[in-house]
Chain A
């Protein structure tokens, strides 16, 4: 059983929603990222999505674009990220790690080399933002060969027949983009998203994660009744940007944001326990 599957099973048995946190690797520095990863886990994160910085992140909003720019000024590459994951694994062998990024930095390494190094360093899955399943055949097979899972995105305008097609390639979980827009956008329509999630949940056999535009505990809570996992990204990266010169403050503020979301997600369990 994969780390991701184990994690979802465990959370399910505890009746908890999976909390996925996104940060860009190397923002503001690689060593800060290692601290932040441990902080995220301590404050209720169940899966870490580690962004691979790219010079032209066309699906990301300004917050994550700037995170990429901060990482790239230091020339952060896949090799640094593999080392980072290795270091993280010294203290944490349980939390699944998903690398999320764009195809070009992977393609230039070669799919085989990338996949093998990723798995060897302790990565569990890959999400390539600009790789729809039509272009993904070879890559998904290579990932599979190296025991990496392939996370795919579905969007509000992805029709049900296409979702079924995507499921043939997807493993780990399915990531529902909750709005038509880039990461960190503001215009999330919660009731429409809930309806979509209910609809999609009926027809898939993988855990369903929802992300893009979820910034606070209340939104996370409402969506969690119809999703297996909630993804928080730009809200965390925003903290990193504001406190980029102060490692302690970054970790404190992230801790308090993520604790509040975790608490809200678990509130029924806690009040239930009191009875």
Chain B
């Protein structure tokens, strides 16, 4: 290893980056903070996953699905017109929007569904915010012939009616969640409650790199295919990835891109949703504005009040509207390995239009946060340097939201 690189990794304590530890901890973060009834199924899942993660039969099955069902590898696309317009660093888009179902979420759901099948479970449950994870879970359930129930906040059902209909077409039952703030966090609570009551025949597919151990680890491992492909694709064109940019809600698309690059020289930027602005209190940016606490089975940065009650978040994008974040992002923030920045609703909307017009790609509103930051970053970086943006999802699901904001009836 080059000396300067070794030093940099040493500075970050990354030379022996090997997380989580055997108890599912990422430094002080992560862990297994659940009621006793969930300990056994989580222990079973951890054992099963650790036995299978290097099992050639399992990997063969997983890669067969990646290649033939998900549509991998996804292209690494050079955004020529956008790059020229910005007149700064080159922008490459990792086209996860071209995955089956239109987002990276299926990389994870197909992996977990295969695990579920191997564990003999017949019923899949999932929580969803924007509906992308719900659709991805319903899709793989149909693909593998399993029953599927998706919990979704009433508020989100209203915001994402198309995805609700999609899930129903795929044969899933969508259960509206009316408790608390009626969004993603409450859907997660409800899914956990269902799981406690049905642990014997049910597999819970968590959609992001949060939740109790082993979920943050296994979701990361299934999503890391994104970063591994980028490494190969950059080698093929003989270029270096100088910076990586991805949006962060729970953080699964970001960790999927970042993880294989952790011991590289690439700079990394995770972009949280600043909503109306970080100073307004109406945002979804726990890494920028949160405190360390425990929610949904893990210790991480949270948006909470002075009494430790979780507060309502705001973002234009349902998929980023979550008060917590995956524990590995919390660690990477504290280690200084990833910089966590933010983009407002307005920034995201602007980027949504910009990419649509310059490249003919309509990005999801979640993804638009990453685009917004990448445009800023490209201006600051040198020409010839390369930025990889994880284009985590396509924007079809957001057309109603955007049209409504702009006063257009469709």
B-side interface residues, number (CB < 8 Å): 39
B406 at the interface (CB under 8 A from A): no
Q: Which residues of A (86-110) have their CB < 8 Å from a CB of B?
A: 102-109
Contacts of A14 in B (CB 8 A): none
A271 to chain B, nearest CB (A): 37
B294 at the interface (CB under 8 A from A): yes
A108→B197 contact, CB < 8 A: no
A58 to B293, CA, bound (A): 15
Q: Which residues of B (272-297) have their CB < 8 Å from a CB of A?
A: 291-297
Tell me whether A56 and B36 are in contact in the complex, defined as CB-CB below 8 angstroms, given that A104-B302, A106-B308, A108-B291 are known contacts.
Answer: no
Which among A104, A155, A159, A182 is the interface contact of B295 at CB below 8 angstroms?
A: A104
B326 at the interface (CB under 8 A from A): no
Q: Which of B96-104, B185-193, B241-249, B356-364 is the interface stretch? A: B185-193
Which among A58, A69, A109, A157 is the interface contact of B193 at CB below 8 angstroms?
A: A58
Contacts of A185 in B (CB 8 A): 197
Contacts of B294 in A (CB 8 A): 102-104, 107, 130
Contacts of A135 in B (CB 8 A): 31-33
Specify the main secondary structure of chain B where it touches its partner. Answer: mixed
B36→A54 contact, CB < 8 A: no
- Among residues of A, the one whose C-beta sits closest to the C-beta of B39 is A132
B37→A108 contact, CB < 8 A: no
Which among A72, A107, A153 is the interface contact of B309 at CB below 8 angstroms?
A: A72
A132 to B38, CA, bound (A): 10
Specify the main secondary structure of chain A where it touches its partner. Answer: loop
Q: Which residues of A (43-79) have their CB < 8 Å from a CB of B?
A: 54-59, 61-62, 65, 69, 72, 75, 77-78
B407 to chain A, nearest CB (A): 35
Q: Which residues of B (186-211) have their CB < 8 Å from a CB of A?
A: 186, 188-189, 192-193, 196-200
Contacts of A152 in B (CB 8 A): 36
B308→A109 contact, CB < 8 A: yes
B297→A130 contact, CB < 8 A: yes
Contacts of A154 in B (CB 8 A): 36
Which among B37, B193, B296, B309 is the interface contact of A54 at CB below 8 angstroms?
A: B309
A54 to B302, CA, bound (A): 14
Of residues B34, B186, B307, B310, which shows the largest number of chain A Cβ atoms within 10 Å of its Cβ?
B307
Fill in one digit per residue for B158-198: 1 if any A CB lies within 8 Å of its CB, else 0.
00000000000000000000011000011011001100111
B193→A108 contact, CB < 8 A: no
Q: Which residues of A (171-189) have their CB < 8 Å from a CB of B?
A: 177, 180-182, 185, 187
Tell me whether A130 and B307 are in contact in the complex, defined as CB-CB below 8 angstroms, given that A56-B189, A61-B193 are known contacts.
Answer: no
B308→A108 contact, CB < 8 A: yes
- Among residues of B, the one whose C-beta sits closest to the C-beta of A212 is B37
Tell me whether A108 and B199 are in contact in the complex, defined as CB-CB below 8 angstroms, given that A130-B33, A132-B36 are known contacts.
Answer: no
B32→A108 contact, CB < 8 A: no
B43 to chain A, nearest CB (A): 9
B264 at the interface (CB under 8 A from A): no
Name the 7 nearest CB pairs between A and B, nearest first: A108-B308, A105-B308, A181-B197, A59-B35, A155-B37, A77-B307, A157-B40
Residues of B within 8 A of A (CB): 23, 31-37, 39-41, 179-180, 185-186, 188-189, 192-193, 196-200, 291-297, 302, 304, 306-311
19 A-B residue pairings within 8 Å (CB atoms): A54-B309, A55-B180, A58-B296, A59-B35, A75-B307, A77-B307, A104-B304, A107-B292, A108-B293, A108-B307, A131-B33, A134-B32, A135-B33, A156-B37, A158-B36, A158-B40, A180-B200, A181-B196, A181-B197
